[in-house]
Amino acid sequence: MCHFITLVAPTDDVAALSAVMKRHGRGASPVDNASIRKVLGDADRQFLTTRDHCDCGTVLASGPDDPDAAEEGFAKEAGRLKRKGWSAAKIARAMEGRRKAEARPDDRAPDSIDLWAAVLRDLGEELKLPHAGLVVRLYSGAIEAETFDALRREAPAGAPLNETLASMRQDEVTVFRLK
C-alpha cells in the first residue's frame, strides 16, 4: 500500500503541464480513476504527479484521518500518565509536546506545503488554468482500478493557499481557484 498524489486540471496539454511539474520535481502522467472522475467537471483530467516509486510521507493530507480519534488517543495517554502518578501540569506539558511533535513537518517528506503552493500558482499563471485540484489516496491496488468514495471540496475563496493545502484530507479532491 502506497500514497499517490493526483493532480486534477482542465487541460489536455500534457507537455505544458509536465514542464511546469518537472520544474517542481514532480511528474504529470495521465491517469483515470473512475472514483475520482465521478466528482470532476467534464473538462477535468487526472495526472499522477509521482516521479519516484510513490508519495509516501507526503505533507498533503497527513493529518489524522479522524481528529476525534487523535484526541481520544491523547486522552488515553493522559490517563495512563495520571495512573503512573504524574502531576496535572506535567501531563499537560507532555500532551502539548506530543501535539506539537505530531504537527511538525517531517524533514524527510518528499514535498512541502510551499512546493504545492508554488505548483498551483505556476499552473494558474503559466497555463492560465482557472482551477486545479489535488487528491491524496493510500492505494492498496492498481491506481486506475481501485474504487473508493471520493469527495470534492472547493477551497474557500480568499482562504490562504498554504492553510487550505495543510487542511487536505485523504480521498478528497480539493479544488483551488487559480484565477
Residue pLDDT, tens place only, 138-149? 998 899 999 999
Report yes or no on whether pTM surpasses 0.85.
Answer: no
Residue spans of the domains in the chain: they are 2-61+109-177, 67-103
Interval 108-148: pLDDT, tens: 557 899 999 999 999 999 999 999 999 999 998 899 999 99
Chain-centroid distance of CA 7 in Å reads 10
Residue 64, pLDDT above cutoff 70: no
